[in-house]
Amino acid sequence: MHKRFQQIGLIGKHGDPMVKETLLRLYDFLIEQKREVIFEEATCRLLEGKPVSGVPDIEMARQSELVIVVGGDGTLLHAARTLASQNIPILGINLGRLGFLVDLSPDLMTSRLEEILNGHYEQEGRFLLEVSMGDESSSKQKILAFNDVVLHKWNIARMIEFETYVDELLVNDQRSDGLIVSTPTGSTAYALSGGGPLLHPSLNAIVMVPICPHTLSNRPIVVDGDSEIEIHLHPSHAEDVQITCDGQTSFPAMPGEVIRIRKAEHQVRLIHPHGYDYYSILRAKLGWSESPKNNRC
């Protein structure tokens, strides 16, 4: 049995009134369980006058032993990037669509939560990527990504030309619509849509998936998770290029820019219900459990 949780932080999907009912049910349940509840301040605004106060999300780890995220995978991605450096465990309740990360349904919320609060749960660590630009000695801010770092055009249908290096060794020189650099967690996201492989989240690996490459032999490649990836943009073919992390944070890249991507120092601690099975999640979310139809002439 694992550690029991007494102080619980709550984060809801920002600006979505649909999470209010679930948040209130969750709050009432936690109070009945005699737990201390700490709301993230933006989440408090969803409760419309409920007598609770909130703290900034960056402060939640100092006052909580567990943070519960109510929303979809996007909400958990944001929370994970914010809280990873503080080593706080995170549990997701799924009000989104697919929900590969937020794997606790609202219907089973109270029964499974009681088990989790009392120490019956599965815990895993998953790594993030950090991306930086410029010289190695540059003081530019490093941006985190839990799913993926994507190099792409943003306002014109024109290919990008760039070179990709892994641990200072040239991999290829390509022309394409961009490149997805994904963690195993992100292998079920944009990388999957781009034709990339599914990676088990326990793997220490990074996958690079080209987006619509001009050379048909340019295929996804999996490299060691401790590798450093460099993307060198061509000086004359990189106008209007963006770097996007987790589909949420974007910043421009200039012609001739060097983008460096490596594993981040801190991991995300995810909490799952007891008996969690990753392959069961894949079967449910990707429709692998459906019986094949008989096609008869």
CB 88 within 8 A of CB 26: no
User: Could you tell me what percentage of the chain is helix, strand and coil, using 3-state DSSP and rounding each to the nearest 5?
Assistant: 25, 35, 40
Q: Is residue 294 part of a domain?
A: no
In the annotation, is 135 catalytic? no
Only one residue has tokens 């991605």, namely 77
- Consult the annotation and say whether 147 binds a ligand: yes
Alpha helices in 33-143 (DSSP H): 41-44, 60-63, 73-83, 109-117
Residues 158 and 257 placed together within one structural domain of the fold:
yes
- Consult the annotation and say whether 119 binds a ligand: no
- Consult the annotation and say whether 248 binds a ligand: yes
What is the domain extent for residue 167? 128-265
Please pick, among 28, 57, 73, 135, the residue that the annotation labels catalytic: 73
18 token code pair: 């649909």
Residue 250 pLDDT: 93
- Consult the annotation and say whether 177 binds a ligand: yes
CATH number at residue 152: 2.60.200.30
User: Of 43, 255, 12, 6, which is closest to residue 117 (Cα–Cα)?
Assistant: 6
User: Per residue in 224-237, pLDDT tens?
Assistant: 999 999 999 998 76
Residues 137 and 236 placed together within one structural domain of the fold:
yes
The pTM of this model reads: 0.92
Residues 116 and 189 placed together within one structural domain of the fold:
no
Residues 140 and 240 placed together within one structural domain of the fold:
yes
- Consult the annotation and say whether 74 binds a ligand: yes
Residues 134 and 260 placed together within one structural domain of the fold:
yes
Per cent of the chain over pLDDT 70 is 93
| pLDDT-based confidence at residue 137 (cuts at 50, 70, 90) | low
Positive or negative torsion for Cα 139, 141, 145, 149? negative
Q: Per-residue pLDDT for 294 more than 80?
A: no
Q: Is residue 295 part of a domain?
A: no
Lowest-confidence pick of 55-59, 130-134, 171-175, 208-212: 55-59
Residues 115 and 59 placed together within one structural domain of the fold:
yes
- Consult the annotation and say whether 7 binds a ligand: no
Looking at the 3D structure of the chain, how many domains does it have? Answer: 2
Q: Is residue 296 part of a domain?
A: no
Positive or negative torsion for Cα 1, 29, 126, 263? negative
Residues 52 and 168 placed together within one structural domain of the fold:
no
- Consult the annotation and say whether 188 binds a ligand: yes
